[in-house]
Structures are given as structure tokens and as C-alpha cells.
Structure 1
């Protein structure tokens, strides 16, 4: 499975902000939309990611207040990215190694979407569920061979 498969199922809704937005605006957007990250865009280019991790760290550093910080001061300005063709196993390794919960998906300089650790986990579970259903159907429909009993042992002769 590839990242493009996740994006196809997930849809193409993206939430963004600019580096000059206030942290307050960004946090309000994240709370309103019930999302954990915003892609930070400037002049059509990805310039960073703001996740709840950076927001909480900035709030803690400001004595528990959002204050007047700009997104550019608290965002991750070198976020880990992947491409639509990246294999899911590689994405899992990247996210675990970097402790990243969100990955922008880039095709050259074009932002294609964002995948979360939840999206990756859900796709793995869905794929395993599908495989389990197929295996159970295969076993249930296992063709009986001539001379075999129910348990596969030869039938006794009369």
C-alpha cells in the first residue's frame, strides 16, 4: 500500500495557515475544525507545520497563555515529508523514528495532502481486516477432495 491509497480514501480537505497568522488564530482553527495540525503555507509553498505539539510547547513557554506569538515563531520549519508513491511501511518507519504524527505529502513542490499517524494505523487495520475476511471466506469455501472427511482424514471404507 502507498500513501496515494490513503489520500484517495481520506479525501482532499486541507487546513492551512500562514506564518504571519497569530498562534491564537491557528489554535482557534485547530479547535474549531477538531484537527491536530495546520500546514503553514506562504506564497503557495509549504514553509512549515504547526501541530498541537508545537502549540502546547509555545503556550507552556508563555506561562500557559497563547499570547501574541506568530505561527512562524513556533512552527516546525523543516517538517518531514513523503510523496504519494512512498510505501506505507516506509511511512510508518519515518513517523516512528522522527516521532512525527503528521506528514505533508509532496509531489515535487506541490502539496498533495497530509497524513496522520491515525490515517496510517487505520489503513493498516483496514487492510488486515480485509485480508482476514478473505482468508475466512477461503477456508469456509475450501473445496473437499475426493475421499476426504470433514477434517481432511480419509473416510473409512464400508
Structure 2
């Protein structure tokens, strides 16, 4: 399974913010849409990611205050990315290694979407459930072997 498969199921909605926007405004957007990340876009290019992790770190460092900060001052300006053709088996260890919950999907310089660790886990579970269903159907329809049909049944 590829990242493009997740994006196809997830849909095309992408939430973005500009780096000069206030952190307060970005948090309001995250809250309004019940999302954990925003792609930070400047002049059409991805320049960072803002996630609830950066927000929590900022609040903790400032005694619970946002302190009038901008998105640029707290965003992750080197987010790990993948491509639509990246295999899910490659994405999982990447996300685990860097404790990344949100990963931008890039096709050259174009942002195609953002996948979350939840999206990846759901895709894996859905794939395993489908495989289990197919295996159970196959076992249920298992053809009886010729040699056992004519043998006597001894207790």
C-alpha cells in the first residue's frame, strides 16, 4: 500500500497557515476544524508544520501564554516528508523514529496532503481486516480432497 492510497481515501481537504499569522489565530483554526496540524505555506511552498506539539511546548515555555508569537517562531521548519509513491512499510518506521504524528506528502515541490499517524494505523488495520476476511472466505470454501471422500470414517 502506498501513501497515495491513504490520500485517496482521506480526501482532498488541506488546512494551511501562513508563517506570519499569529499563533493564536492558527490555534483557533486547529480547534475549529478539530485538527492536530497545519501545513505552513509561504509563496506557494511548504516552509514548515505547526502541530499541537509545538503549541504545547510554547505554552509550557511561556507559563501558559502564547506571548503574541507568530507561527514562524514556533513551527517545525524542517518537517519530514514523503511522496505519494512511498510505501506504508517505509512511512511507519520514519514516523516512529522521529515521533512524527503528521507528515506532509510532497510531489516534487507540490504539497499533495498531510497524513497522520492515525491515517497510517487505520490503513494498516483496514488492510489486515480485508486480508483476514479473504482468508476466512478461502478457508470456508476449501475444496475437499479426493482421497478423503472415499475413505471409511473410523471412530
- Shorter-chain TM-score: which interval? over 0.9
Structure-2 separation of matches of 1:66 and 1:37: 17
Quote the residue 1:7 is aligned against.
7
Quote the residue 1:81 is aligned against.
81
Q: Structure 2 stretches of 5 or more lacking a match?
A: none
Q: Structure 1 stretches of 5 or more lacking a match?
A: none
Q: How many residues align?
A: 154
Measured after TM superposition, the shift of residue 145 of structure 1 is 1.7
Structure-1 separation of matches of 2:94 and 2:65: 32
Quote the residue 1:44 is aligned against.
44
Secondary structure of 2:146 counterpart: coil
Quote the residue 1:156 is aligned against.
152
Q: Does 1:70 align with 2:54?
A: no
Structure-2 separation of matches of 1:60 and 1:22: 18
> Contact between 1:24 and 1:67, CA under 8 Å: does it hold in 2?
no
Secondary structure of 2:69 counterpart: coil
Structure-1 separation of matches of 2:130 and 2:24: 42
Quote the residue 2:110 is aligned against.
110
TM-score, normalization by structure 1: 0.94
Structure-2 separation of matches of 1:125 and 1:65: 39
Q: Give me the CA root mean square deviation.
A: 1.4
Structure-1 separation of matches of 2:104 and 2:37: 10
Q: Provide closer, same or farther for how the CA distance between residues 146 and 53 of structure 1 changes in structure 2, counting only shifts above 3 A.
A: same
